[in-house]
Structure 1
């Protein structure tokens, strides 16, 4: 049975989840009293899992990839996808973690060739492949990440992050479209 539609809890039965406001709600501009907010949170487990994934990927305490690099990958994925609301969110978060103006200018303009060879440049090139032409994200791309000095664990994390971003971008775009229809 759906968490939001379950009957009153009896002893030993999990209680229904309470909808919590999250990043997607903020980016789309949903308020807890909006009908679209209620629809989105009908399956609270899914909304919670989405926010929990976000929290995991963007925790400053996360191991492996630096938070600055994770945020720059997220921002770049949103730039490539023309997801302006999410791009603004990630750009603002990156600014709180001391972004580099030269790198940020290259990312904003999608000019990866302006970057010095580094694991960041390789991560952004991998991001481009998986966002723009995912079928080209093959062993050659992984070899480039390894040649840039990335560990297997960091490559897996990067691929998972990009997959999450692709999902987040699409959910946000769908909700924005629904919100636009709602206002007509």
Structure 2
């Protein structure tokens, strides 16, 4: 697991000090610092509260896997292996990624003008084998994360109630939502920076 002194986005995007991308990021120090502090608050909290570190990293692995962000998924998987110390749990999360990965977004809007854009797709449920390892709470969290990634138009009070019914507290539900939102942001930033780095490398070769 990286220490809080390492900027995680720089690490994931392969940004080195002194590079043009490093200068680009440090030109907006508040934005850079806020992203790092968000990571630290969600994954290196002083107090775990209602969501354990194992649950936090398991959710991150699952979300990154659904996005197909291989380097981000590997980063969080390494952290999960360290905190969970359970090969079966890591394997179960990885298996659920494979079972849940699809193409989106899709889902159904409330009845109205947007209903014309309704699209059917996978309604993900953790497998029985996975549920036996992950338990009811973490299984519900993965199912909710899948909804947020692929079916955000179906986010509802009923969806949140399913988390509460599985044993999550209201505070825990907020933390899960924050993790999902942060991962979506982090993955997109890393992808964008990586694309810029690749473009710069191609220009350097052709120059």
- The bucket for the TM-score relative to the shorter chain is 0.7 to 0.9
8 Å contact kept, 1:68–1:99: no
Alignment RMSD, CA only? 1.5
8 Å contact kept, 1:21–1:32: no
Deviations 1:33-83 (A, max 9, x none): 110111122111000000000000012533220000000101111000011
Query: Residue 47 in 1 paired to residue 32 in 2?
Result: yes
For structure 1, which runs of at least 5 residues remain unmatched after alignment?
A: 1-19
Residue equivalent to 1:143? 161
Query: Residue 158 in 1 paired to residue 176 in 2?
Result: yes
Residue equivalent to 2:59? 73
Please give the alpha-carbon distance, in whole angstroms, between the structure 2 residues aligned to 1:24 and 1:157: 20
What is the CA distance between 1:95 and its match in structure 2? Answer: 1.0
What is the CA distance between 1:101 and its match in structure 2? Answer: 2.6
Residue equivalent to 1:57? 42
Residue equivalent to 1:86? 72
Please give the alpha-carbon distance, in whole angstroms, between the structure 2 residues aligned to 1:22 and 1:160: 19
More helix by share: 2
Please give the alpha-carbon distance, in whole angstroms, between the structure 2 residues aligned to 1:163 and 1:86: 15
Q: TM-score, normalised by structure 1?
A: 0.84
What is the CA distance between 1:99 and its match in structure 2? Answer: 4.3
For structure 2, which runs of at least 5 residues remain unmatched after alignment?
A: 100-125, 203-207
Residue equivalent to 2:189? 171
Residue equivalent to 1:183? 201
Deviations 1:99-152 (A, max 9, x none): 433332232132421322510000011111112222222222211101101111
